[in-house]
Amino acid sequence: MKCITPSICILMVFFFSSLYTTSIPLQEDWHQTFTSVFTTLKKESYLPTINRPSMIKALNAFVHSIDEHSSVLEPEEYKELIHTTSGGLFRTGITLGPKKPTDDFLMILKVEKGSPASRAGIQRYDKIKAIDSLPVISSSLEDNIARLSGAHCSSTVTLLIAREHQENFSCTINRSFIPKKVCCGYFLPHHSILYCALTLFTQQTSIQLETLLRHAHEKKVKGIIIDLRNNGGGLLKAALECTALFVDKGSLIVSTKNLHGSPLVQYRTERDPLSVTVPIILLVNQHTASSAEIFAQSLKLSAQKKNQKTFVSIVGTPTRGKGSIQEIKQINENCALKITTARYYMADGSSLHNKGIIPDFIIKEYEKLSPEVQRIQELFQEKKTSQRSFSLQKKKTAPEFEKKPAHKETLLKNDPQCACACTLITLFSHAKTHTPYLVGSYRTTLSWLQSHYVVPTDLILIKTG
């Protein structure tokens, strides 16, 4: 065996020590590296390097590499997020027409009845020449619309108005909160069923949902369909408030844990529920996520308890499986950070993260057609109004039930998931009337419905002859 010479030993020691001294900085030192790179580029680069889009892009790349649900929000994105989750804006009630770059006015196409603009005397086809003394020609239509909206209740905006056959005049309008419609309901008269679509969980969702449920109770419906398809979530608090309309007061809905699995917060319902005893069918798809998943799974878990009068089932395709919670941290005046702070766990201890909800009845959505083909179908359907068997009817005494648009009626009529929900409610209603022992407990009811409802994928064809 040969001995290693001292010179080689010294060389090896020097090599490995150089690797150590030039190794990648520790994680806590990376912020210094980023600062150094930024400073060097700003000082030494021949080309202009520092601009807002590139900085946002760089920060977002870093944040996204840690978590796909976290991101850096610019001021406009942050403001839009706040407005979206609040369920409305402080507005004037004015709808503006398109604006050319050379136009020195904004044409008012509509003034909502009873809105602040209407009370201030603004009329249709009035022209806005300036907003708060700033001429509208100097800004884009989007910027002018943003200036009409406000961040606070009872804030004011002063408009310079040009009206035909009159001299220009100033008008001050007190903005007021105008809620955004996030919950719309339709009554299906041939089935005595309420169809309710929830598009997002905002501060207004539970209020709008409760109104629909109370009207449904007055009509004595046989069942309720709640459409959560394409509902990406929203406010956790809003989802809890909606869940509280159906489950017992004080019920545990969801709890959160940090990175290390330590419990953080338990969320429970804080009000008495409404008296809902009819079956509820929830429609979900791959875009149903976050708060919408919490709402759906909570209703199902509550229905599985003993002595529960409400049956809940889920129809559609597996949901997204987003089981994390994000919070908004304002960094400075220029940006905010949406960051994942915890994961949530359902009342039974299960996590939906990367798993989602598997529906009781897996029914694929209808195949989406091109806009041209859809329009042809709509025109064709309009000629067959007398032959409709799956029609929608506006509730005449309650404005909360939406007027039925032709395209919505056509989509629901040809919606296999909605048709499945109607069939399940009808089966449940017949069984409860004639053979109540078949729909006694939750497990018995679900088993009976699954054995009697034929899903297209369950059909087995055997060739004969």
Q: Residue 460: its pLDDT value, please? A: 54
Amino acid at 101: P
Percent of the chain scored above 90 by pLDDT? 38
Please say whether the beta carbons of 164 and 156 come within 8 A: no
Two tokens at 252?
Answer: 């545990």
Taking each helix axis from N to C end, the angle separating 416-434 and 442-452, rounded to the nearest 10 degrees, works out to: 120
Least confident of 39-48, 115-124, 368-377: 368-377
Q: Would the CATH topology of 88-178 be identical to that of 183-366+389-452?
A: no
Please say whether the beta carbons of 423 and 222 come within 8 A: no
Asked whether residue 410 carries a pLDDT value surpassing 60, the answer given is no
Block residue for tokens 């791959």: 286
Average confidence score pLDDT of the chain: 79
Dump pLDDT digits (tens) for 199-226: 889 888 999 999 999 999 998 999 999 9
Taking the CB of residue 65, how many other CB atoms lie within 10 A of it? 9
Q: Residue 345: its pLDDT value, please? A: 96
Closest CA to 233 of 184, 268, 198: 198
Residue 462: pLDDT band (50, 70, 90) is low
Q: Residue 390: its pLDDT value, please? A: 37
Asked whether residue 464 carries a pLDDT value surpassing 70, the answer given is no
Please say whether the beta carbons of 216 and 226 come within 8 A: no
Give me the residue spans of the domains in the chain: 88-178, 183-366+389-452
Asked whether residue 100 carries a pLDDT value surpassing 90, the answer given is no
Helix or strand or coil: residue 83? helix
Q: How far apart are CA 299 and CA 195, in angstroms?
A: 17
Q: How many helices (H) and strands (E) does the chain have?
A: 13, 19
Q: What is the dihedral of CA 83, 85, 90, 91, to 10 degrees?
A: 70
Q: What is the DSSP string of 172-213?
A: EEE-EEEE---EEEEEETTTTEEEEEE--B-TTHHHHHHHHH
Say which residue, 12 or 113, is predicted with more confidence. 113
Closest CA to 268 of 282, 246, 251: 251
Q: Residue 229: its pLDDT value, please? A: 93
Dump pLDDT digits (tens) for 260-313: 888 899 999 999 999 999 999 999 999 999 999 999 999 999 999 877 789 999
User: Domain 183-366+389-452, CATH 3.90.226.10 — does that match?
Assistant: yes
* CATH class of the 88-178 domain in this structure: mainly beta
Closest CA to 390 of 159, 189, 95, 136: 189
Q: What is the pTM of this model?
A: 0.69
